[in-house]
Copies of this chain bind each other. A is one copy, B any other.
């Protein structure tokens, strides 16, 4: 949540001169994303009527070889009518350029705000938008291995070390070891899938009232099961932030919205309890590693891994009923 690189007016004007977007009028570094620096840019616009864009500089975590994949995906989904920002291409047709060796891309600006406490109407719309994405990637034609999937979760536990994990909470190493042991050999591999968002938290969705105006931050997108992406979204939306209370009306609305666009098959539905627990482990492990490697007094707010341990426990106790047909 910071801007890691300084870009002055002169740098920005020089960059923008490569695009058909008019002259620079305003630029504000914005506190979005944790891996990139972002600026909200205002220009006179291609037609002189004014325009706004998000300028993203890719600072770390993102393998530059993956950048065309992410930008192509956003363009593909936008072209299909999904509320996803298009990439603005420069006059030579390039989707990204470089400043001082760092890649930068100009992205369409979308209105809307991120909600903290979604209503059922909002969750219903998010479910619809998620299913629309799932249908729209059928002819995307690219794929990317999910490097935040099952194998990575175990590797992260080993990297962190069980002593460090126990320093977060004494129960954490055992919970992770037992849960990961339970996944071994039982993780389904051949469910319907495609390139999915994998990180559709409320802060990656822009809304105006109940309408979804933008799905953003596709930088964890990868090839995976649609049902797993649904489970990630369920875990991200249907609980209080600390995971202490499940909000059944949000879960039901998310599912109902999704299924107005795309029906989940019986086999997909049967895997949701497993996938929901997997989604929890995905965020427990990445948050635990960030927790261990980020100084407590750093300006970046560390997210508590235990918020998703509570969700994991809830799903372990309740998920089979939660995702049954007719719920």
Binding site for B on A (CB under 8 A): 1-4, 6, 8-13, 24-32, 40, 42, 111-117, 206-208, 295, 297-301
Contact = CB atoms under 8 A, between A and B. Distances in A.
A299 B3 CA distance: 9
Contacts of A114: 8-9
Nearest to A119: B10
Contacts of A297: 295, 298
Given A8-B115, A30-B31, A31-B31, 5 more contacts: A4-B299, A28-B30, A295-B295, A295-B297, A298-B298
B12 A113 contact: yes
Contact of A299 (B26, B206, B208, B300): B300
A205 to B, nearest CB: 10
* 10 tightest A-B CB contacts, nearest first: A8-B116, A9-B113, A29-B31, A3-B31, A299-B299, A28-B30, A9-B115, A26-B111, A25-B111, A27-B113
Given A30-B40, A298-B299, A113 B24 contact: yes
Contacts of A206: 26
27 contacts: A1-B3, A1-B29, A2-B2, A2-B31, A2-B299, A4-B299, A8-B116, A8-B117, A9-B115, A9-B116, A10-B116, A11-B116, A25-B113, A25-B208, A26-B111, A27-B113, A28-B28, A28-B30, A28-B32, A29-B30, A30-B30, A31-B31, A40-B40, A42-B111, A295-B297, A298-B299, A299-B299
Contact of A10 (B115, B208, B299): B115
A113 B31 CA distance: 18
A321 B44 CA distance: 44
B28 A40 contact: yes
Contacts of A11: 116
Nearest to A117: B10
A147 B1 CA distance: 32
B207 A9 contact: yes
